[in-house]
Amino acid sequence: MSQASPIPPDDPLPDIPRERRPQHIAIIMDGNGRWAQRRDLPRIEGHRRGVATVRRTVEECSRIGVRQLTLYCLSSENWKRPQNELDFLMHLLEQYLIEERGTIMEHGIAVRIIGRRDGLPDRVLREMDKTISMSSANSGTTLCLAINYGGRAEMVDCVTRIAEKVRQGEIQPAEISEQMLSDHLYTAGMPDPDLLIRTAGEMRISNFLLWQISYAELWVTELCWPEFQASDLHRAIRDFAARDRRFGGLTPS
């Protein structure tokens, strides 16, 4: 299991101790198209600029010692978009996986990918598998990319796997527990998110990590994803640290 890097000497949040920081941050990267349209640019230019934001966010999370960062790259519902936009997104994904390998290895980042492989081009699958393999021994921040991902589809796949084990007699229905479901999700072995960030001001979850975010703190900004800076990440972490997380209990007096 990956471990977060030590907090750097030039830590931007020196007053927030490690135990008050989110160890797993998940981000719904929304607003690329809207950012472009407001500037009379094609939507694909927003996606291109969004890749730069991914790069700086990944590097900053690694630098300040975040244990895991999960990014919602492509939802299972995004296939409804125009074909030229989908083709460009696949090109950007392939390009990112190739071009960022140096940075991934330099920072000791371990890459994991969740979602269904069906429908993804073979060339993208090859680069995904290569990047996962070459970074598998890294012990720094885990970068989890949700690609062709849907929370409901994940639950269907989870239940299907468990049902097959019941059918084969490997487990009994009475043995099914929350932990067993967690162990059969795409995210098996990963910690649940502590903090869920959404850009572009939308107040919804959009079928993202429905099981895993049951106790995540939500943080929404009006900024579109291409506008999101390291300082905004710091602000989200600072707000998280100030919250009282009771997990259904009461705050000690």
DSSP per-residue letters across 166-226: HHTTSS-GGG--HHHHHHTSTTTTSPPPSEEEE-TT--S-TTSSTTTTTTPEEEE-SS-GG
Distance CA 213, CA 110 (A): 22
Whether the pLDDT of residue 17 is over 70: the answer is: yes
Distance CA 97, CA 177 (A): 36
**pLDDT class of 30 with cuts at 50, 70, 90:** very high
Domain segments of the chain as ranges: 21-150+191-240
- Which range is least confidently modeled, 40-44, 54-58, 74-78, 153-157? 74-78
Distance CA 68, CA 48 (A): 24
Query: Exactly one of 11, 78, 157, 183 is catalytic; which is it?
Result: 78
32 included as an active-site residue: no
Q: What is the number of other CB atoms lying within 10 angstroms of the CB of residue 6?
A: 10
Distance CA 140, CA 142 (A): 6
Please determine, looking at this structure, whether the domain spanning 21-150+191-240 carries the CATH number 3.40.50.11810. Answer: no
**pLDDT class of 21 with cuts at 50, 70, 90:** very high
**Mean pLDDT computed over every residue of the chain:** 94
Query: Exactly one of 11, 15, 30, 122 is catalytic; which is it?
Result: 30
Mean pLDDT of 71-80: 91
pLDDT score recorded for residue 12: 94
pLDDT score recorded for residue 5: 63
Encoding tokens for residue 162? 């468990």
Distance CA 82, CA 106 (A): 36
pLDDT score recorded for residue 80: 84
30 included as an active-site residue: yes
Whether the pLDDT of residue 3 is over 70: the answer is: no
Can you say whether the dihedral through the CA atoms of 101, 103, 108, 113 is positive or negative? negative
Mean pLDDT of 126-151: 98
